[in-house]
Amino acid sequence: MNVISDPDRYGEGFLKRQGASFVPYSALVANIERELDPTVRETYDVIEQAQSRIPGLSKDLPPRRNLWGEPLVLEGGLGWDFVSPFYTKTEKFDFVSKEMFENEMNITMPRRILGQKKYKVELDGEQYDRYVMLTGKELTLPYKNLKTGKTRDLNLHDYLKNVMMTKEYQTATEGPEGMKSFIVKNIVNMFKQGATEELKNEFPELKDKFDEFELQKITDKTGVPVQELQNQLNMR
């Protein structure tokens, strides 16, 4: 059993699944909840996992979103079966998503942990939901059309759509290791970085934490105490 052989890796997922089982008649209750609130909810611990399956309580949790910042919504089962566990999602044609899928691009959602090694911070539910929204929907960056010379501010999806329509992109190599994937990954990362900076502006406690990390990095390299570095900055 994975949770026993490697508890650090599998333990959290195991506990989340067990959390849902603590709800009496959890399968039936969960299906009733899906009828009342079909939006898939983001959960971060055992309590929230159970809450996501209880009618009336799940709406207090943030929605789980896709890369474009859109909430994921379950839209019925296969045929009319109130307790059917098989939920389908209405398909709509999306050129950008289709292109990424067909090229098997390994594009990941924004990470819940920002930073690296010991210089990192885990986002809470509100912060992470905002981070995903900024990355996929609300943040805009300038895109210059090389044919017209005009520049427009576009969100991630529209930015990728315009890039994918260019000759340079369409003639690039395909596949997960091709130039098309390289271009898309770089654009997605650019939006993630921009969203991170905006997130720091919206949540001052995050900015303060990352400012502390920058001072700590200097201390780790030079040996100069953090407090002394802080005093030097205050004197400027």
Distance from the Cα of residue 33 to its chain's centroid: 24
- Of the spans 14-28, 44-58, 62-76, which averages the highest pLDDT? 62-76
Domain boundaries, given as residue ranges, for the chain: 2-90, 97-202
As given in the structure block, the two tokens for residue 121 are: 């911070």
> Residue 172: what residue type?
A
> Rounded distance, CA 107 to CA 181, Å?
9
Residue pointed to by tokens 């920058």: 214
Distance from the Cα of residue 61 to its chain's centroid: 15
pLDDT at residue 85 is higher than 70: no
pLDDT of the residue at 151 = 96
pLDDT of the residue at 207 = 92
pLDDT at residue 196 is higher than 60: yes
pLDDT of the residue at 38 = 52
How far is the CA of 131 from the CAs of 25, 199, 202, in angstroms? 35, 6, 10
Question: Which residues have CB under 8 Å from 84's CB, separation 6+?
Answer: 31, 77, 78
Residue 68 contacts residue 152 (beta carbons within 8 Å): no
Of 40-49, 103-112, 153-162, 207-216, least confident by mean pLDDT is 40-49
Helix (H) or strand (E) run with residue 154 in it: strand 151-154
Residue 196 contacts residue 185 (beta carbons within 8 Å): no
pLDDT at residue 213 is higher than 90: no
Of 56-70, 124-138, 188-202, least confident by mean pLDDT is 56-70
Residue 206 contacts residue 200 (beta carbons within 8 Å): yes
